[in-house]
Chains A and B, each alone.
Chain A
C-alpha cells in the first residue's frame, strides 16, 4: 500500500484530501478540536490568533458560495489572511494549467490552499506538487470527496446522538454523483456506525457501492425503518428528464422525504442535508423546517469544523 498522501512521516495530518484512510484518532482529533472552537463562534469577539500571519488561498475551480464562504469565515476567525480566487473565470480560461496556477500562488507565499475542483483527485495532484510547508484542504473534488462536509456531518451526528456505535444512518438520493455521500460513509464506518444504508434507485448508485460498507435499499420506506439519522442528498436538476430519472415529481414520490415517510424512522431521528436544498424534489418543506431538521446547525458547525482542520494542518 502506498503511503497516505495526506499524512506526514509522523502520521499527522499534512493535508486533508479524503476521510477515507484517515486514522480514527485523527478524525476524533478534528471533531474534538472543532468542539473547542464551537464556543468561539458564539463569543462576542469571534477571533483566535492561531493562524495570524498565515495566508489561506481559496482556490475554487468550480463555483461555490456556501463552502467558500464558510472556509473564509473559518480562516478569518483564526486570524488568517484570506485570498479568494475564482479560478473558473480567470487563469484557467486563459489556458494556464492547474499546476502552473498553484506554482504561481505558491510563489506568493501561501500556507494553506483550499481547493475545489470538478475533477476527482485534483487536490491529490496539487498536494503532490506543493512545498513541504504548504497544506492542501480538499473542499470538494468531482464525485470523489468532500471531507470537511463529511466531518461536519459527523460533528452534527455526534452532537445530537453522542455514540456512533449504535446508530442506523440512511443516506438517501444521488449517491452516484455525490462526494458528500462518499465522505460521510467513510467517516461513519471509521467511527464504527454499525449500519449505514443507502437508499436510491439503481440509476443513482455507483456500481459495487456495497464495497464501501453500506446496505443498499431501493424501497425508501423499508430503508427508513428505525433510522436514527436521515441524510438527504441534493439532486441536481440536470439529472432529470434524461436516462437517469424521468421527472422530479416521480422522484419525490419514490425518494422524497415527506413527514409521513419520516415517521418510519425513530421518533428522535435527525434529518440532515448538505445544501443547497431542492424543496419539493428531495425534501418536503415541512420536514426541512420541522422539529427533526438539523440542517441549519450543520452550517454553523461547519465553521468550527473548518477552523479545526485548518488549525490542525497548519500546526503539523
Chain B
C-alpha cells in the first residue's frame, strides 16, 4: 500500500524531532517521496510517531486460550498503537523448543497485525535445571531468553545460563526476585500488607537478586535486561551498573510508575501484580529513574487473566492485569507528570525498547519499516473494561480518566487499525 500521511505532527523519538510534516510509505517502508499514493490519511491535529514497542505482553497462547487468544490480544495490541511486542515464554507448554516458536510466529503472522518477538525459555520447562537449546531457538526467531516470572533459585544454573548465552551473544532477560525471600508473599512487605494481614515480599528480595545478577554479569559478560523493576533500591543499583558500563538495561511496568501499595484499598484483586505494587517512595524513584535514564523503558506487562482468576480473595487471585491498550495513555500521563517533551516520553515506548529488542523500526527515517501510530494525545479516554479489545478486562485503572487515543496503527505499511 502506497500511503501518504498528511498534515500530521511528526514526532520521531530517535532524533527528538517534533514538528508538522508529511510522511510517505511504499512497500512497507518509509520513503522520501511518493508519486501516486493509493491512500491519503489526513492526520490533522494528530501525532504521527513510530508504533509502540512493548517489551512484555502475554498473548496466552499456547495453553491458556481461556484467558486470551492470539487473535484477541493482537487486536488489543494494534488498538493500543503497539506494532511490536515481546512475548514472555511462560505459556503452556513454555516456549522452550523451536517448534513452539515457529507455531507462535506463524500464528501471529497470519493475523497480520503487530509483530511478535517471542522470548525463548532460558531453561527447559522453565524449571531452572537444564538449559534450552538457545542457538536452535534463536534460529527459530527468539531474540532473547528468559525465565518470565518463574524463579530461578539455583544460582549455579543462572551462572551457567549467562555464560552460555554470552558465548553466543544472546541477551538474557531476567526478573530480579530472590525466590526464598519472596516465598509465600503476595504484597509489598510494609505498612499496608501489615494492616491487611497479607504475607509480604520485602523490597530487598529484589535488590538481593539484582546484586547477584549484576555480579554474574561482571563475571560472564552476558547482556542482561532486567524486567519490571519495582524498588527504589533496584533503580539505584541499575544507575551504578550503567555508570560502570555493564552491558545491562531494564524496564518498568505501567502500573509501577503510577500506583503503590496504598492502591490495594480493601483487597482489590486488580492490584495483585508481579512484582507487587510497592511504597510511594519506590513508585516515585521508578518514575524518576525512567525519566533520568536509569530505567530504559516502559512496558505494559500485559497479562490477561479471566474473571474467575480475579474473583478470589486477594492472595488467591491470579497476578496480572491487562495493559496493551493503556500503554500510550499511561506513558503520556507519566511524561506529563515529569514535564517531558512528547518525543522524550515516546522514546520510552519506541526507540528505547527497539534498541533492547534489536528491532529496526521506531524511526521516522526513510528506509525504516513503516510501523506507525497515529494518535490524538489530548482526546480523553475513560478506562472501561468492557470496551477493551483484550480478553483480559481486569485493570487497576478501571474508571480512570486518561488522555491519548490511537486513531490508526500501521504495520509494515498496512493500516491494521483505525478508529
A interface residues with partner B (beta carbon < 8 Å): 2, 5, 20, 97-99, 117, 119-122, 124-125, 141-145, 179, 182, 206-209, 211-212
User: Cα distance A256–B200 when bound, in Å?
Assistant: 27
Chain B residue at minimal CB-CB distance from A177:
B197
Distance in Å: Cβ of B66 to nearest Cβ of chain A: 15
Contacts of A117 in B (CB 8 A): 313
Contacts of A141 in B (CB 8 A): 197, 313
* A207 interface neighbour in B189, B266, B308, B313, Cβ under 8 Å: B189
* A208 interface neighbour in B190, B308, B316, Cβ under 8 Å: B190
User: Cα distance A145–B266 when bound, in Å?
Assistant: 12
Return the CB mask of B156-199 against A: 1 if under 8 Å, else 0.
Answer: 00000000000000000000000000000000011101111111
Tell me if A211 and B195 are in contact (CB < 8 A).
yes
* B200 interface neighbour in A145, A182, A206, Cβ under 8 Å: A206
Distance in Å: Cβ of B35 to nearest Cβ of chain A: 60
Tell me if A143 and B198 are in contact (CB < 8 A).
yes
Distance in Å: Cβ of A269 to nearest Cβ of chain B: 27
Distance in Å: Cβ of B188 to nearest Cβ of chain A: 9
* B198 interface neighbour in A5, A20, A120, Cβ under 8 Å: A120
Distance in Å: Cβ of A5 to nearest Cβ of chain B: 5
* A125 interface neighbour in B189, B196, B202, B312, Cβ under 8 Å: B312
Tell me if B194 and A211 are in contact (CB < 8 A).
yes
User: Cα distance A142–B191 when bound, in Å?
Assistant: 17
* B314 interface neighbour in A2, A97, A120, Cβ under 8 Å: A120
Interface size class of B (residues with CB under 8 A): 20 to 34
User: Cα distance A5–B265 when bound, in Å?
Assistant: 11
9 A–B contacts, CB within 8 A, in A order? A99-B311, A120-B313, A121-B315, A122-B313, A142-B197, A143-B199, A145-B197, A179-B197, A208-B190
Chain B residue at minimal CB-CB distance from A121:
B267
Distance in Å: Cβ of A189 to nearest Cβ of chain B: 12
Distance in Å: Cβ of B179 to nearest Cβ of chain A: 15
Contacts of A125 in B (CB 8 A): 267, 269, 311-313
Tell me if B202 and A207 are in contact (CB < 8 A).
yes
* Total cross-chain contacts (CB, 8 A): 74
Tell me if B312 and A142 are in contact (CB < 8 A).
no
* A212 interface neighbour in B194, B198, B269, B316, Cβ under 8 Å: B194
Distance in Å: Cβ of A176 to nearest Cβ of chain B: 9
Contacts of A124 in B (CB 8 A): 266-267
Provided the pairs A121-B313, A125-B311 are in contact, do residues A2 and B195 lie with their beta carbons within 8 angstroms?
Answer: no
Interface residues of B in 286-319 (CB under 8 A from A): 308, 311-316
User: Cα distance A119–B316 when bound, in Å?
Assistant: 8
User: Cα distance A182–B200 when bound, in Å?
Assistant: 16
Given contacts A211-B194, A212-B195, 17 further A-B pairs with CB under 8 A are A2-B266, A5-B266, A97-B308, A98-B312, A98-B313, A120-B197, A120-B315, A121-B198, A121-B266, A121-B267, A121-B313, A125-B267, A125-B312, A207-B191, A207-B200, A208-B191, A211-B195
Contacts of A212 in B (CB 8 A): 194-195
User: Cα distance A97–B196 when bound, in Å?
Assistant: 22
User: Cα distance A125–B194 when bound, in Å?
Assistant: 19
Contacts of A145 in B (CB 8 A): 197
Interface residues of B in 220-248 (CB under 8 A from A): none
* A119 interface neighbour in B190, B191, B315, Cβ under 8 Å: B315
Distance in Å: Cβ of A27 to nearest Cβ of chain B: 18
User: Cα distance A124–B266 when bound, in Å?
Assistant: 7
* B196 interface neighbour in A2, A5, A121, Cβ under 8 Å: A121
User: Cα distance A121–B264 when bound, in Å?
Assistant: 11
User: Cα distance A212–B192 when bound, in Å?
Assistant: 10
Tell me if B311 and A97 are in contact (CB < 8 A).
yes
Chain A residue at minimal CB-CB distance from B267:
A121
User: Cα distance A5–B195 when bound, in Å?
Assistant: 16
Tell me if A182 and B197 are in contact (CB < 8 A).
yes
Chain B residue at minimal CB-CB distance from A183:
B197
Distance in Å: Cβ of A300 to nearest Cβ of chain B: 27
Contacts of A121 in B (CB 8 A): 196, 198, 266-267, 313-315
Tell me if A119 and B314 are in contact (CB < 8 A).
yes
Chain B residue at minimal CB-CB distance from A126:
B313
Give the most central of A122, A179, A212: most B CB within 10 Å.
Answer: A122
Distance in Å: Cβ of A307 to nearest Cβ of chain B: 26
Contacts of A179 in B (CB 8 A): 197
Contacts of B200 in A (CB 8 A): 206-207
* A144 interface neighbour in B191, B197, B269, B312, Cβ under 8 Å: B197
Distance in Å: Cβ of A88 to nearest Cβ of chain B: 15
User: Cα distance A121–B192 when bound, in Å?
Assistant: 13
Tell me if A207 and B196 are in contact (CB < 8 A).
no
Contacts of B313 in A (CB 8 A): 98, 117, 119-122, 125, 141-142
Contacts of B191 in A (CB 8 A): 207-208, 211
Distance in Å: Cβ of A178 to nearest Cβ of chain B: 9
Contacts of A20 in B (CB 8 A): 195
Chain B residue at minimal CB-CB distance from A176:
B194
* A206 interface neighbour in B194, B266, B269, Cβ under 8 Å: B194
Distance in Å: Cβ of B237 to nearest Cβ of chain A: 21
User: Cα distance A208–B261 when bound, in Å?
Assistant: 13
Contacts of B193 in A (CB 8 A): 206-207
Contacts of B190 in A (CB 8 A): 207-208
Interface residues of B in 250-295 (CB under 8 A from A): 265-267, 269
User: Cα distance A142–B197 when bound, in Å?
Assistant: 7
Contacts of A98 in B (CB 8 A): 311-313
Chain B residue at minimal CB-CB distance from A125:
B313
Tell me if A2 and B194 are in contact (CB < 8 A).
no
Contacts of B316 in A (CB 8 A): 119
Give the most central of A98, A99, A142: most B CB within 10 Å.
Answer: A142
Chain B residue at minimal CB-CB distance from A5:
B266
Interface residues of B in 132-149 (CB under 8 A from A): none
Chain B residue at minimal CB-CB distance from A211:
B191
Distance in Å: Cβ of A278 to nearest Cβ of chain B: 21
User: Cα distance A97–B316 when bound, in Å?
Assistant: 12
Tell me if B311 and A120 are in contact (CB < 8 A).
no
User: Cα distance A208–B266 when bound, in Å?
Assistant: 19
User: Cα distance A5–B199 when bound, in Å?
Assistant: 22
Q: Which 8 A-B pairs have the closest CB atoms?
A: A144-B197, A121-B267, A143-B197, A119-B313, A206-B194, A208-B191, A211-B191, A120-B197
User: Cα distance A211–B196 when bound, in Å?
Assistant: 12
